[in-house]
Chains A and B, each alone.
Chain A
Amino acid sequence: MSSDWDASTTADTTEPSGALLEVDGLAAGYDTGQVLFDVDLAIGEGELVSLLGRNGAGKTTTMHAIMGADEPAVLGGDVRYRGESIVGWQSHRRANSGIAIVPEKRRCFPRLSVVENVRLAINHAANPLGLDEALAFFPELEDMRGKEARNMSGGEQQMLAIARALAANPDLMLLDEPFEGLAPYIVRRIEDIVADINAEQGITVFFVEQNVAAALAIADRHYVLDEGQIVDEVTSDRIREDEAFRQRYLGV
């Protein structure tokens, strides 16, 4: 499965050992077939890193494997958090050890209000923020604290989902396509929020994205996933300059 420009060599040389999250030769799949073949990632503490790739490249599958969802099944390789293998851990244990996720779809609990959604995270986190502290990042949500999530717009729900993840006061925040399906001005607002969470709260952020422009706006280091393999690890400059690369792997 290894080619001459296997990303793991690049990652190994550029990343210091003892990264917060390491994914090593991960292979995973569903009943219908294998999706991930060889995924290598290393995210250092305090970093803001993206995983880019076309539709169907395996981005969400990677996220689910890191978070320990029921599916996909991990077929090989390792996921290490703070140097410890977490592959056999149940999802809630990973959350309790400081990983929070903002999922791609069904981001909030629809029948719970803003406050209830955030409280839930606070009640189940080891070292949570206070309610007001978490909501302070989102003045937009201030007027709708009692509103049920199902009655909110997509952008508001996304903010609530991020507020909920933030309230758990995680060390690592995973975001699955945080800009998907949002109006351009909300995309910019979410960009700011994610960047602030990384810069001001010191939370390591790893996100999956198809919207290359938005990813370039906030992250400087990007992994590129294609057909279930990491094909490269690049900087924003490289993506901006190399059109052939963009065309080939990102379709833009």
Chain B
Amino acid sequence: MSGETATGEGPTEALDRARSLLLRYRVPVGLVLVVLLLRPVISHPLLLGYEAVAATILIWMVFVAAFNLLFGYAGLLSFGHAMFLGFGMYAAAIGVSGRAGAPELPFPVAAAVGIAVAATVGYLLGRLTVEKGEIYFAFLTLAVAQAVEFTANRNPLNLTGGSNGVTQNVLPGFVESTRGQLVVVFTGLEIDWYWFVSAVFLVAMLALWQIVRSPFGRSLVAIRENGDLARAMGINTTRYKVQAFTISAAFSALAGSVLMIDRYGASQETLSVITSGDTVLMAVLGGVRYFFGPVAGVFVWQFTEEFLNEFEVLHLGFTSVDLSGVLTHWQFFLGALFVVLVVVAPLEGIWGYLRDWVRDLYVRVKGVAE
């Protein structure tokens, strides 16, 4: 197997090459598979049986992945990331609707404004907080997010709509709502909302992947692992952390602007501390050390939430079992799974286990084959 046998290289070599290519591009391939499989899987009758939530799940994956750039890679736990989602959501909603005398903006412009605001706030807040230590960072981000929610609730200049949020005239011109389904109309073509979101998902996630594997991303991991050593190697850790915060905020706002269309407007609940907390939990559930951790975490979380809600509504009724009792039971089990994960390996999450399991299986199968 050593010689380079002119043209007719053996099937083993070709297979090896294909395998190494697949290994190298496993993240893009995985992302495409997520997009292709998510909708058919959840709309299977045995699972959810409907597909509307698939696009929402993709948007959440982008948001939690953006959050995890900061938490999982740079090691900074933000407890106020909902505000960045909110900046994107509110800027898009206010801009598109042009309410209260605000200039009416095309969606891309409004979204860009939201992303710019989020990035600016992320940058300034980062300058103030990233070197303050983990606990302070968590609390300061939480406090600022609370202030943002409070401000939105006060409805300044009648822009944010207070507790009602912004829900009037929020769909941009290229999105139409027919029978509760969103359709993107683009130069005469009608594109399913899910595919539009998929495109945003792929672009955003591939960009995040490039960031994570770039020298910049590797430096973030180094800072997370050993800040003193990173500094002693010439890395300006403060600058890197601030940049990570800024990028994370920008991608969060991008997710927020798309979520605005998906949810038909901006809601004040999105800004709440519960959203920020859920974000942390989804990332931890999936596994913060892995690029696909947030993807896995969001899927399990959102799917379970939907599934449980449906379970209550469906009333299977084949026995006289109290369904709300079962429901609490299910939530208890999700909580129990979470506790087990956090106790056993807080940073591995579901994705870490899946990975190890698949790797073991592969090694065993290979061992048997040989």
Contacts from A to B (Cβ < 8 Å) = 67, 69-70, 90-92, 94-96, 100-101, 103, 106-107, 109-112, 116, 119-121, 123-125, 164, 168
**1/0 per position for B216-243, CB-CB distance to A under 8 A?**
0011011001101111111111000000
The reply on B156 being an interface residue by CB < 8 A is: no
Chain B residues whose C-beta falls within 8 Å of the C-beta of A100 in the assembled complex: 233
How far is A124 from B218 in the complex, measured between Cα atoms in Å?
11
Contact B225 A96 (CB under 8 A): no
Identify 29 residue pairs between A and B in the complex whose beta-carbon atoms are under 8 Å apart, listed by A's number: A69-B231, A69-B232, A70-B228, A90-B231, A90-B236, A91-B231, A91-B232, A92-B233, A92-B235, A92-B237, A94-B232, A95-B234, A103-B228, A103-B232, A109-B221, A109-B222, A109-B226, A111-B225, A111-B289, A112-B221, A112-B222, A116-B218, A119-B218, A120-B215, A120-B219, A121-B233, A124-B219, A124-B233, A164-B233
- Selected from A67, A110, A164, the residue in CB contact (under 8 A) with B225 is A110
- Selected from A92, A111, A112, A119, the residue in CB contact (under 8 A) with B234 is A92
Chain A residues whose C-beta falls within 8 Å of the C-beta of B236 in the assembled complex: 90, 92
Closest chain B residue to A126, Cβ basis: B234
Please give the distance in Å from B137's CB to the nearest CB on chain A: 16
Please give the distance in Å from A196's CB to the nearest CB on chain B: 22
Please give the distance in Å from B121's CB to the nearest CB on chain A: 26
Chain B residues whose C-beta falls within 8 Å of the C-beta of A67 in the assembled complex: 232
Chain A residues whose C-beta falls within 8 Å of the C-beta of B221 in the assembled complex: 109, 111-112
- Selected from B215, B226, B228, B234, the residue in CB contact (under 8 A) with A96 is B234
Chain B residues whose C-beta falls within 8 Å of the C-beta of A168 in the assembled complex: 233-234
Please give the distance in Å from B367's CB to the nearest CB on chain A: 20
Chain A residues whose C-beta falls within 8 Å of the C-beta of B230 in the assembled complex: 109
Contact B234 A69 (CB under 8 A): no
- Selected from B215, B219, B232, the residue in CB contact (under 8 A) with A101 is B232
Closest chain B residue to A124, Cβ basis: B234
How far is A111 from B236 in the complex, measured between Cα atoms in Å?
20
How far is A226 from B60 in the complex, measured between Cα atoms in Å?
59
Residue in A70, A95, A125 whose Cβ sees the most chain B Cβ within 10 Å = A95
Q: Other CB < 8 Å A-B pairs besides A100-B233, A106-B229, A124-B233, 14 of them? A: A69-B228, A90-B231, A90-B236, A91-B228, A91-B232, A92-B235, A103-B228, A103-B232, A109-B221, A111-B289, A112-B218, A121-B234, A124-B235, A168-B234
Please give the distance in Å from A88's CB to the nearest CB on chain B: 15
How far is A106 from B226 in the complex, measured between Cα atoms in Å?
8
How far is A218 from B221 in the complex, measured between Cα atoms in Å?
35
Q: A111-B289, A112-B218 are in contact. Are A120 and B233 (CB under 8 A)?
A: yes
Please give the distance in Å from B293's CB to the nearest CB on chain A: 14
Please give the distance in Å from A105's CB to the nearest CB on chain B: 10
Q: Which of B185-218 touch A at CB < 8 Å?
A: 215, 218
Please give the distance in Å from A169's CB to the nearest CB on chain B: 12
How far is A123 from B56 in the complex, measured between Cα atoms in Å?
39
How far is A106 from B227 in the complex, measured between Cα atoms in Å?
11
Chain B residues whose C-beta falls within 8 Å of the C-beta of A124 in the assembled complex: 219, 233-235
Closest chain B residue to A103, Cβ basis: B229
Please give the distance in Å from B142's CB to the nearest CB on chain A: 25
Chain A residues whose C-beta falls within 8 Å of the C-beta of B225 in the assembled complex: 109-112
How far is A100 from B233 in the complex, measured between Cα atoms in Å?
7
Please list the 4 inter-chain residue pairs (A to B) with the smallest Cβ-Cβ separation, ordered nearest first. A95-B234, A91-B231, A124-B234, A109-B225
How far is A23 from B236 in the complex, measured between Cα atoms in Å?
25
Please give the distance in Å from A31's CB to the nearest CB on chain B: 15
Please give the distance in Å from A130's CB to the nearest CB on chain B: 15
Contact A120 B289 (CB under 8 A): no
Q: A106-B226, A111-B225, A112-B225 are in contact. Are A125 and B234 (CB under 8 A)?
A: yes
Chain A residues whose C-beta falls within 8 Å of the C-beta of B289 in the assembled complex: 111
Closest chain A residue to B229, Cβ basis: A103
Closest chain A residue to B131, Cβ basis: A70
How far is A121 from B228 in the complex, measured between Cα atoms in Å?
14
Chain B residues whose C-beta falls within 8 Å of the C-beta of A70 in the assembled complex: 228
Contact B215 A92 (CB under 8 A): no
How far is A101 from B232 in the complex, measured between Cα atoms in Å?
7
How far is A194 from B234 in the complex, measured between Cα atoms in Å?
22
Chain A residues whose C-beta falls within 8 Å of the C-beta of B228 in the assembled complex: 69-70, 91, 103
